[in-house]
Amino acid sequence: MTTTRTAADLRAVTAAELEAIARGAALLGTGGGGDPYVGRLLAEHALGPGGSVPVVPLHELPDDAVVAAVGIIGAPTIGVEKIQGANETIDAIAALNSALPRPVTHLVCTEIGGSNSMVPIVAAARTGLPLVDADGMGRALPELQMLTPGLHGHAATPLGLSDEKGNRLVLHATDNLWAERLARSAAVTMGCSACYAMYPLSGAEARAAYIPGTLSWAYRLGLLMAEARRRHEDVAAVLADELGGAVLFRGKVVDVDRRTEGGFVVGTGRLDGVDGWAGSGFTLRFQNEHLVAERDDEVLVTTPDLVCVLDADVAAPVTTEALRYGMRVS
């Protein structure tokens, strides 16, 4: 608990911070948002040796900043095979800029959970734009209209979308639900994943609409997990204590029903209990993220609470596309 209280807020991201951010982001991804592992490698490559990306606290954003949220839309199952490049992020920002009176000056995470924590770092390193220490969800999100700037009444469009082949589009939607539908279907056609730059906001609007400090929060959670593992502590219990939650179950994965559908990975995972939970069953229901957790057919937790699954052997978060038969998890 001390770790997250004492570590200072990030003022820059270098290669040294990436592993902790990725680990914390994977936890906050609650199984969704894709494994940040590949994103971390891309960010390392984009930063280069000695490279760094400046991080601006949300409250320090100037009023006249132009802030865009960047990330990947698609099914995380696809990200396992179709690895994102670095040019898509530049193309998506260029597509958005073509529809704006003034170009984007700052980048922000849509969702701190999962690989979308890494995409803005790659984009910032490639474009030289500073990154805001904030995100629009505080976890991973299933659909773009659910972001906090959307809840604050801001339009997700104009939205720039791009793929690794060089296709680009600029979308103007009548509302954010239509933006989600059109961006999702274009992403499916682009190969089930695409890069976006969206929600162009002024600095003043962004300060009110985003969740402050979540990049630093993911970093501190990542440090905490690494520290607990180094000390051979029970990482799940340490996290439950830190996040004010509880260890709901420990068990072995006995069945995974998973399919890619409409640009999402959806399905169910079933566990048989071990330790104190021997004899009990547990069910995880997911759409990209773990949405519902049931023990012995009783619903214990639903989103927006965080349903986090840790691999018991390596104490690392498990994404919904990586969940597999025989895995021991907490």
State the nearest-atom distance from the C-beta of 198 to a copy of itself, in Å.
Answer: 13
Residue 104 contacts residue 112 (beta carbons within 8 Å): no
Name the amino acid, one letter, at 268. Answer: T
Number of chain residues interacting with a copy of itself (CB under 8 A): 22
Task: Write the CA distances from 255 to 59, 260, 288, 325, integer angstroms.
Answer: 46, 17, 17, 6
State the nearest-atom distance from the C-beta of 196 to a copy of itself, in Å.
Answer: 13
- Cα–Cα distance between 43 and 118 in angstroms, integer? 6
State the nearest-atom distance from the C-beta of 143 to a copy of itself, in Å.
Answer: 14
Residues 12-31 interacting with a copy of itself (rule: CB under 8 A): none
State the nearest-atom distance from the C-beta of 179 to a copy of itself, in Å.
Answer: 8
CB-facing half-sphere around the CA of 318: CA atoms within 13 A = 22
- Cα–Cα distance between 47 and 30 in angstroms, integer? 27
Q: Does 101 bind a copy of itself (CB under 8 A)?
A: no
**Strand 131-135 to 52-57 pairing:** parallel
For a copy of itself, what does the binding mask look like between residues 169 and 208, x meaning CB under 8 A? xxxxxx---x--xx-xxx-xxx------------------
State the nearest-atom distance from the C-beta of 87 to a copy of itself, in Å.
Answer: 12
> Between residues 169 and 247, which has the closer beta carbon with respect to a copy of itself?
169
Neighbours of 319 (CB within 10 A): 29
- Cα–Cα distance between 325 and 253 in angstroms, integer? 5
Q: Does 261 bind a copy of itself (CB under 8 A)?
A: no
User: Which of 39, 198, 188, 67 has the alpha carbon at shortest distance from 125?
Assistant: 39
Return the structure tokens found at 309. Answer: 């699954």
Q: Does 102 bind a copy of itself (CB under 8 A)?
A: no
The C-alpha R_g of the chain, in whole angstroms, comes to 19
> Between residues 28 and 186, which has the closer beta carbon with respect to a copy of itself?
186
Q: Does 262 bind a copy of itself (CB under 8 A)?
A: no
State the nearest-atom distance from the C-beta of 38 to a copy of itself, in Å.
Answer: 23
Which one of 133-141, 162-170, 223-231, 239-247 is the stretch in contact with a copy of itself (CB under 8 A)?
A: 162-170
State the nearest-atom distance from the C-beta of 199 to a copy of itself, in Å.
Answer: 17
Per-residue b/e over 232-268, b at no fewer than 16 CB within 10 Å?
eebbbebbbebbeeebbbbbbbeebebebeebbbbbe
> Between residues 67 and 171, which has the closer beta carbon with respect to a copy of itself?
171
Q: Does 167 bind a copy of itself (CB under 8 A)?
A: yes
> Between residues 32 and 263, which has the closer beta carbon with respect to a copy of itself?
263
Question: Applying CB under 8 A, which residues contact a copy of itself?
Answer: 95, 98-99, 165-174, 178, 181-182, 184-186, 188-190
